[in-house]
Amino acid sequence: MKFAILVNEGPYTHQASDTAFNFAKAVLAQGHEIFRVFFYHDGVNNATRLTTPPQDDRNIVDRWSKLAKTSELDMVVCVAAAQRRGIVDDGEMKRNGKDATNLAPGFRISGLGQLVEAGIQADRLVVFGD
């Protein structure tokens, strides 16, 4: 089956990102496909490479980046939500005259059309949020 995953909450504050991550791993382990993982609302905060949790805690951002690499996941961060919350890639830095970027590896910034497309293309879109 082809899944799409929507993550609507940020890391650490809320369980949603952890559960979405565990779900993604389980989906892949069962031999299913993940069309896309889309990060919206505070979910975009899962995509900052500046996250530095204590050493004895899980690194939620790195975990997503690694899964994207090993499983060739398409992980998309909503541009409007990212702009509000200061998640920046090279393109956004130039476009908005900012002086830094913080998008973690494996993520890309794009529009909400990518979420709607995921809903259309996937057999199941699973929402993780409050």
3, 10, 11, 41: which one binds another protein (CB under 8 A): 41
Q: Classify 87 in phi/psi space as left (phi over 0), alpha (psi -120 to 50) or beta.
A: beta
1 binds another protein (CB under 8 A): no
Q: How many CA atoms lie within 13 A of 53 on its CB side?
A: 13
Q: Least CB distance from residue 26 to another protein, whole Å? A: 21
**For residue 35, what are the CA distances in angstroms to 12, 61, 123, 130?**
25, 20, 9, 23
Q: Least CB distance from residue 46 to another protein, whole Å? A: 16
Is 78 among the residues known to form the active site?
yes
Q: Least CB distance from residue 117 to another protein, whole Å? A: 8
Chain residues 57-116 in contact with another protein, contact rule CB under 8 A: 80-81, 84, 111-113, 115-116
Catalytic residue among 24, 73, 75, 78: 78
39 binds another protein (CB under 8 A): no
Strand order in the sheet with 75-78: 107-110, 75-78, 33-39, 2-7, 124-128
Catalytic site residues? 78
Note the residues at the interface with another protein (CB under 8 A). 6, 8, 40-41, 80-81, 84, 111-113, 115-117, 119-120, 125, 127, 129-130
